[in-house]
Amino acid sequence: MSAITVSAPAPVVGAPARAALEAAGGFALLGVCAGLGAGAPYRVPSLALTALIVPLGAWVVTGLSVLVVHQFLDLDARPEDIAAALGQGFVRTGQLAASLAPVMLFMAATSDSRMAIACLLMGAVAACGLPATARQLRRAEPQSDHAGFRWLIRGWLLFTTLVGLRIGLDLVG
Amino acid sequence: MEPTLLSLAADVLRRPLEVVERVAEQPALLPQVLPRLVLLALVGGGVFGAVTGMYRGGPQVLYAAVKMPLLLLIPPMIVLPAARALVALDGPALSGQRLATACLVGMSRTAMLSVALTPPLWLLYRTDLSHQSALAWMLGSLALVGLPGLITVVRAMFPAGSPRGSQLALVALLGLVFAQTGWLLRPFMSMHGTGYPLLCAVDHDIFSGLQVRLLSTREAPTDWDCANPLVLGSHR
């Protein structure tokens, strides 16, 4: 009997560049907390960089593909709308990562399974952030029922996950 | 009308979401409602903790009565920012007031439900129950009463029709932090023949603890209790 109803998320406040920087900071913060909580300050820069590069790289690489294929499919939304939806998704996901920093700090400081928890939380960020971005994309596209667009979204979800995993494995290796 | 402690307790048990909505619609109620919700969580958790501590008796009753409400109140504080961000992924951002009310309603509901389980638990603890079984009963009871509280928190925060993934993520996060907080605040019941530790030094984590203690077929490995206990009492 909740009085609040489903509606589109509030638009990201502030200049897009600043919002994107804050989101990137959110990802890095998660890595910083993993390093600080583990009592390994010398690992903070590398963990922060890893936590930032994985989502940023995956978003940039696959985002460009989405823009290209979207235009190729000759759908209604303007490229700016698709880019804005991707950007909003990145910002929201970065905010989610930043909000998980207290949990990361708590778990890293009190647990032996720090790396497992860090991977779990990054996975949770991806598992919530990617579908949320997909929903943003569907809202941006008037022909969201178009079969090609549905496959585009599915492909984006799959390849963003795979590219993120590949970058993560490369960085860890 | 200003709710009394008793009427608020009844509403939290019967119609928890209405309590959250009422406070959201009338923010003037907040200063009256929030302290009472905290009180309900403290009392309910304290009673459940005291009964848990009765497995061992002595100072453990007091220690567990103090620590159990903390187990209910600390995890939501750690997870609150994440809850807000999860809701904001697909909907309007929630106010801090609504988040706090939702968490406290859920936790006080869990605390009061835990009181309902104390008679059978106390009876069990008066039998010749092994430490391992006593622990399993306590964890099972907490899981049983924790679920309605978690569901209340999630339903009060997320608008109807929100994606299940975000809701499940919040439940999983709360569960993870609850489990680790419980591990940090242990022992709620120490083994017979040991001291009365208030807290243990930070070591390992809940996962290794569960693996050692509950999945082991051997009786009473001492790791679960404390590797380095902070003991304020004496041996019985």
Per-residue confidence (pLDDT) for residue A53, from 0 to 100 = 93
The rounded distance, in Å, linking the Cα atoms of B182 and A13 is 38
Residue B19 pLDDT greater than 90, yes or no: yes
Of the candidates B196, B54, B73, the residue with the CA atom closest to the CA atom of residue B120? B54
B230, β-bridge pairs: B199
* Higher-pLDDT residue of A16, A122: A122
pLDDT in tens, B98-134: 999 999 999 999 999 999 999 899 888 888 888 888 8
Q: Which residues of B touch A137 (CB under 8 A)?
A: none
Those residues with Cβ within 8 angstroms of residue B228's Cβ, 6 or more apart along the chain or in another chain? B200, B201, B203
What is the percent of chain A where pLDDT is above 70?
A: 91
Q: Kindly state whether A95 is in contact with chain B, defined as any CB-CB distance less than 8 angstroms.
A: yes
Contact assignment for B161 to A102 by CB distance below 8 Å:
no
Q: How far apart are CA B152 and CA A2, in angstroms?
A: 11
CB-based contact, A119 to chain B, within 8 Å:
no
pLDDT at B207: 75
A window 130-169, beta carbon within 8 A of B: 131-132, 135
In this model, does residue B3 exceed pLDDT 90? no
Segment B141-156 mean pLDDT: 92
Q: What is the pLDDT of residue A135?
A: 93
Band of residue B90 on the pLDDT scale cut at 50, 70, 90: confident
Residue with the larger pLDDT of the pair B194 and B81? B81
CA pair distance B27, B197, nearest whole angstrom:
43
Do A110 and B204 lie within an 8 Å CB cutoff? no
> Does residue B163 belong to the interface with chain A, where contact is any CB pair within 8 Å?
yes
Burial of A80 (0-12, 13-18, 19+ CB in 10 A): exposed
| Lowest mean pLDDT segment, chosen from A146-150, B137-141, B193-197 | B193-197
Q: Vertex B204, ends B171 and B60: CA angle to 5°?
A: 80
Confidence of residue B65 (pLDDT cuts 50, 70, 90): very high
Q: Which of A12-21, A37-46, B103-112, B208-217 is the least confident region? A: B208-217
Higher-confidence position of B95 and B2: B95
> Distance between the two ends of chain A, CA-based, in angstroms?
50
Q: Residue B21: which of A3, A10, A99 has the nearest Cβ?
A: A3
The helix (run of H) or strand (run of E) holding residue A33 is helix A16-37
The mean pLDDT value for B125-147 works out to: 88
Give the pLDDT of residue B110.
94
What are the tens digits of pLDDT across the range A81-138?
Answer: 999 999 999 999 999 999 999 999 998 888 887 888 888 999 999 999 999 999 999 9
pLDDT value of position B223: 45
Q: Give the pairing type, strands B229-231 and B197-200.
A: antiparallel
In this model, does residue A163 exceed pLDDT 70?
A: yes
Residue A12 pLDDT greater than 60, yes or no: no
* pLDDT confidence of residue A39: 73
Whether B134 contacts B125, CB under 8 Å: yes
Test B91 with A6 for CB contact under 8 angstroms. Answer: yes
Query: What is the spatial distance between Cα B57 and Cα A126, in angstroms, rounded to a whole number?
Result: 47
Supply the pLDDT for residue B43.
94
Residues B203 and B226: their CA atoms lie apart, in Å, by 9
**What span, in angstroms and rounded, lies between the C-alpha atoms of A56 and A170?**
15
Give how far A21 is from chain B: nearest CA, Å: 17
Q: What pLDDT does residue B234 have?
A: 42
Quote the pLDDT of residue B74: 93
Contact state of A2 with B18 under an 8 Å Cβ cutoff = no
Quick check: A29 pLDDT over 90? yes
Average pLDDT, stretch B75-100?
A: 89
How many CB atoms are located within 10 Å of the residue A21 CB?
14
More confident residue, B232 or B165: B165
Question: What residues of chain B lie within 8 A of the CB of A12, using their CB?
Answer: none
Least confident of A10-14, A20-24, B119-123: A10-14
Residue A151 confidence (pLDDT) above 90: yes
Nearest CA in chain B to A112: B204
A2 and B159 within 8 Å at the Cβ level: the answer is yes
| Residues pairing with B205 in the sheet | none
The per-residue pLDDT for range B202-235, each reduced to its tens digit, is 777 777 777 666 666 555 444 455 666 665 544 4
Distances from the Cα of B225 to the Cαs of B67, B112, B228, in angstroms? Answer: 15, 27, 9
User: What band does A14 get if pLDDT is binned at 50, 70 and 90?
Assistant: low
CA–CA dist B216, B222 (Å, integer): 12
* Residues of A in Cβ contact (< 8 Å) with B176: 103, 107, 117
Q: Does position A5 have pLDDT exceeding 60, yes or no?
A: no
Based on the number of CB atoms within 10 Å of its own CB, is B233 exposed (0-12), middle (13-18) or buried (19 or more)? middle
8 Å CB contact of B205 and A106: no
